[in-house]
């Protein structure tokens, strides 16, 4: 089993998705829900929890939630749950439709935002490529290491009802710039469903930034309502597909 560059791209996309702002000029990031993979529909709830330990020993916790759907045609919908300054919830929605060759974004539940649906062309090259890990015997752990870096292929397990295959990488870093000259370990653990072609759990543990865990729960493996992949009525449509590419 090997780690492909897709894993790195997934982490970058997840970060950009979490902090993406509503805009009419910039295209939204590609989703990481296995867009374009047909015949394996599902829906679920993706929760990211970051726990950071402060210098005084106290901890802070941040939670970020997204809802995801994929139909049998490979179309995906991702709802990013957000909160306005008053604490009310609203949602940013991204639909990626490889069938129609476009992705669509709009916001619902936040009155200050204009009721606008924005469309962009979907480049086939930008569609996420899902990892396809090699099968690993359940009772065996495979490890490979180089100085300062170790990779382990973990025994498969069921995560929230989904069969998944895991890889753990451990990087040892000497913090020579600090007076204490600490040596820390940064651990990344990624669990992939070979059937759904998606990450069902990702754990990043870095003593400098804390522990971030993203996990897919409430998984339903059936075709979602087709209406979820259509833009809402009553919104102004801004079609960037007709504009020249920068």
This prediction has a pTM of: 0.75
* Structural domain total, the chain: 2
Let me know whether 98 and 173 are in one domain: no
Let me know whether 13 and 83 are in one domain: yes
Q: How far apart are CA 122 and CA 205, in angstroms?
A: 34
192 lies in some domain: yes
Q: How do residues 74-119 score in pLDDT, each as one tens digit?
A: 999 999 999 888 888 999 999 999 989 998 999 998 877 678 999 9
What pLDDT, on the 0 to 100 scale, is given for residue 43?
Answer: 97
Confidence of residue 174 (pLDDT cuts 50, 70, 90): confident
Burial class (CB in 10 A: 0-12, 13-18, 19+), 48: middle
Contact call for residues 119 and 240 (beta carbons, < 8 A): yes
Let me know whether 191 and 230 are in one domain: no
Let me know whether 117 and 200 are in one domain: no
Let me know whether 29 and 75 are in one domain: yes
Let me know whether 11 and 115 are in one domain: yes
In the three-class reduction of DSSP (H, G, I as helix; E, B as strand; rest coil), residue 194 is classed as: coil
Give the pairing of strands 142-146 and 149-159: antiparallel
Q: How far apart are CA 119 and CA 132, in angstroms?
A: 30
Provide the residue range defining the domain that includes 160.
142-209
Let me know whether 188 and 227 are in one domain: no
């Amino acid at each position: 089993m090997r780690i492909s560059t897709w894993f790195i791209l997934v982490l970058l996309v997840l970060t950009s998705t979490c902090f993406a702002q509503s805009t009419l000029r910039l295209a939204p990031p590609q989703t990481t829900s296995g867009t374009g993979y047909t015949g394996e529909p599902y829906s679920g709830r993706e929760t990211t929890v970051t726990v950071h330990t402060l210098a005084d020993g106290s901890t802070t916790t941040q939670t970020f939630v997204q809802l995801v759907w994929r139909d049998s045609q490979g179309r995906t919908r991702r709802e990013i749950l957000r909160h306005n300054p008053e604490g009310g919830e609203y949602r940013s929605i991204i639909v990626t439709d490889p069938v129609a060759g476009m992705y669509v974004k709009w916001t619902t539940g936040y009155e200050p935002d204009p009721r606008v649906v924005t469309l962009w062309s979907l480049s086939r090259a930008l569609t996420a490529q899902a990892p396809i890990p090699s099968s690993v015997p359940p009772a065996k752990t495979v490890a490979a290491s180089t100085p300062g870096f170790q990779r382990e292929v973990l025994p498969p397990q069921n995560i929230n009802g989904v069969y998944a295959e895991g890889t753990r990488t451990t990087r040892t870093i000497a913090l020579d710039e600090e007076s204490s000259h600490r040596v820390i370990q940064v651990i990344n653990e990624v669990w992939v469903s070979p059937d759904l072609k998606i990450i069902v759990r990702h754990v990043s543990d870095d003593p400098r930034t804390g522990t971030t865990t993203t996990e897919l729960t409430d998984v339903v493996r059936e075709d979602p309502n087709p209406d979820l992949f259509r833009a809402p009525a009553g919104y102004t449509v801004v079609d960037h597909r007709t504009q020249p590419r920068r």
